[in-house]
Amino acid sequence: MGAEQGIRAVVLLSGGLDSATALAWAREQGWHCHALTVAYGQRHEAELAAAARVAAGLGAHEHRYMHVDLGSLGGSALTDPGIAVPEAATSGIPVTYVPARNTIMLSLALAWAEVLGARAIVIGVNAVDYSGYPDCRPEFIAAFARMAQLATRAGAEGGTLEVVAPLQHWSKAQIVTEGTRLGVDFAQTWSCYKGGAIHCGKCGTCVERREAFLQAGASDPTVYESTPPIPKGPEVNH
pLDDT digits (tens, 9 = 90+) for 138-169: 999 999 999 999 999 888 888 889 999 999 99
pLDDT value of position 170: 95
Domain that holds residue 23: 8-195
pLDDT at 39 exceeding the cut of 90: yes
Question: How much is the average pLDDT of 201-219?
Answer: 94
Whether residue 108 is contained in a domain is answered as yes
Domains of the chain: total: 1
Whether residue 80 is contained in a domain is answered as yes
Is pLDDT larger for residue 5 or for residue 184? 184
Whole-angstrom distance, CA of residue 150 vs CA of residue 156: 7
pLDDT digits (tens, 9 = 90+) for 174-204: 999 999 999 999 999 999 998 889 999 999 8
Whether residue 204 is contained in a domain is answered as no
H-only helix segments in 61-196 = 101-116, 127-130, 138-151, 153-156, 172-181
pLDDT value of position 1: 58
Question: How much is the average pLDDT of 217-238?
Answer: 72
Is pLDDT larger for residue 238 or for residue 95? 95
pLDDT at 238 exceeding the cut of 50: no
Whether residue 169 is contained in a domain is answered as yes
Q: What DSSP line would sit under 121-140, residue for residue?
A: EE----HHHHTT-GGGSHHH
Whole-angstrom distance, CA of residue 135 vs CA of residue 142: 11
Q: Is residue 38 within 8 Å of residue 12, measured between CB atoms?
A: yes
Whether residue 200 is contained in a domain is answered as no
Residue 205 phi/psi, 5° resolution?
A: -75, -30
Whole-angstrom distance, CA of residue 226 vs CA of residue 44: 19
CATH number of 115's domain: 3.40.50.620
Whether residue 231 is contained in a domain is answered as no
Whole-angstrom distance, CA of residue 17 vs CA of residue 227: 18
Whether residue 228 is contained in a domain is answered as no
Element spanning 204, H or E? helix 204-216
pTM for the whole thing?
0.92
pLDDT value of position 231: 55
Whether residue 219 is contained in a domain is answered as no
pLDDT at 63 exceeding the cut of 50: yes
